[in-house]
Amino acid sequence: MRIGFALPQFHRQAFEVARVAEFAREVERAGAASLWVGDRNLAAVRPSVGYGGQGTTIPPELNPAADPFVLLGVAAAATEHVLLGSHVLIAPLYPPVQLARALTTIDLISGGRLLAGFGIGWSPEEYEAAGRDFSRRGALLDELLDALQAVWTEDPAEYSGALLSVPRHHAPLKPARLPRPPVYLGALSERALLRVARRADGWLPLCVVPEYVDTDGLTAQRAQLDTWARAAGREPEDIDTVLRVNVSTGTGVRAVAEAIRTVHDRTGIEHVMVDTMYEVDTVEESLAYARELLALLPAE
């Protein structure tokens, strides 16, 4: 199995971002396979839609949020072999040229270790702040993927769509991994899973330990994804899976290790990323949690 961890980014750990390089180096030395960021441009005071698209509240742990691109760049410079991913960037919030430039830079610093994970988000206020239409977020993501493909693989590059456009421009700086970094997509709905099947290099599902570890659901979703991939002329094994494991408050390391083993045994998922922001408050505690979990789940 491959075990990855979220970088210190949210909640109280956001105030310790000066230790991100240290965290990245130490977790890599302990045997981690990957390091990850999430994305929260803002947490509205009176959200019209709540966390994950449910209700009208957002956990206060998401109020402080460090910049994901900066954190990935720091981690890229501080490490040698771990993969560096986003689970997920709310991609439609960003102009395609600026998003491509930031991710290209991170991929070059890391020597081609970037996993570009995207989603469409659930916060109308974040779209309002970015000047984007929340109701068109799926279509925006589709066009953004096309625009990124052009910027990453063409020189000169340009893109023209119904919602996004990139004027013809010089684009000689390309990612280290050619023809582009692998693109992973978060997906729960049928429409989102179909997008993964047709055009993504990987799928980014989610579980919460201990409340929500639905191995039957994960298996069914993956089976549907595989069916649609074949229908699109693709090989299902070419679509990777990285499962996000959110750890709830009061959940010990052994319970998380057991949940990860259960998911692996029942679904075959080999790569997980663990986020402890709800469980631990400091970078020191997060490091200790990661070391203990890696000792319980040694790489195979």
- Of 154, 72, 78, give the one whose Cα is nearest residue 107: 72
Structure tokens at 162: 């119904």
Residue type, 168: R
Specify whether the CB–CB gap between 71 and 20 falls below 8 A: yes
pLDDT number for residue 199: 97
Q: What is the pLDDT of residues 118-155, one digit of tens each?
A: 999 999 999 999 999 999 999 999 999 999 999 999 99
Residue type, 116: A
Q: Is 240 exposed, middle or buried (0-12, 13-18, 19+ CB in 10 A)?
A: middle
The partner residues of 272 in beta bridges, in order of sequence, read: 3, 243
pLDDT number for residue 298: 76
Specify whether the CB–CB gap between 175 and 149 falls below 8 A: no
pLDDT number for residue 300: 55
Q: What is the pLDDT of residues 184-195, one digit of tens each?
A: 999 999 999 999
Read off the pTM: 0.97
Residue environment code for 25-37, b if the CB has 16+ CB neighbours within 10 A, otherwise e? ebbbebbbbbbbb
Percent of the chain with pLDDT over 90: 99
Q: Tell me the average confidence (pLDDT) per consecutive run of 10 residues in the chain, 300 residues long.
A: 97 97 98 98 96 94 97 98 98 98 98 98 97 97 98 98 98 97 96 97 97 96 98 98 97 96 97 96 97 87
